[in-house]
Amino acid sequence: MVQPAAVKAAIQRTIPDAQVQVEDLTGGGDHLQVSVISAAFEGLSRIKQHQLVYAALQQELASEAIHALALNTAVPETTVPDMSSAS
């Protein structure tokens, strides 16, 4: 069992700019859904993005403190200027 705050901290140690949300799916602390948004994922395949997060959680996964991990990763959305009012 691992606390959501510890998961967030572990990810942010490896990916400092990460925006992390952790949800305990069962209440037991070992089945988690984690969403990570980071500029570090820019240009990386989804597999490479997930590998970065798995590396950050290597100890928790190896010890089976995390038994199941549903993972979503993304790059931050950039704001595109509204060009409709430009002449």
Yes or no: say if 66 and 13 are a contact pair by the CB < 8 Å rule: no
Number of domains in the chain: 1
Establish if 80 belongs to a structural domain: no
pLDDT at 87 over 90: no
Establish if 51 belongs to a structural domain: yes
27 compared with 1, residue with greater pLDDT: 27
Yes or no: say if 73 and 11 are a contact pair by the CB < 8 Å rule: no
- Summarize pLDDT for 22-72 with one digit per residue, the tens: 999 999 989 999 999 999 999 999 999 999 999 999 999 999 999 999 999
pTM of the model: 0.85
Domain that holds residue 39: 4-72
Establish if 60 belongs to a structural domain: yes
Task: Give the integer Cα–Cα distance in Å for 83 and 49.
Answer: 32
Establish if 86 belongs to a structural domain: no
Establish if 33 belongs to a structural domain: yes
CATH number for position 64: 3.30.300.90
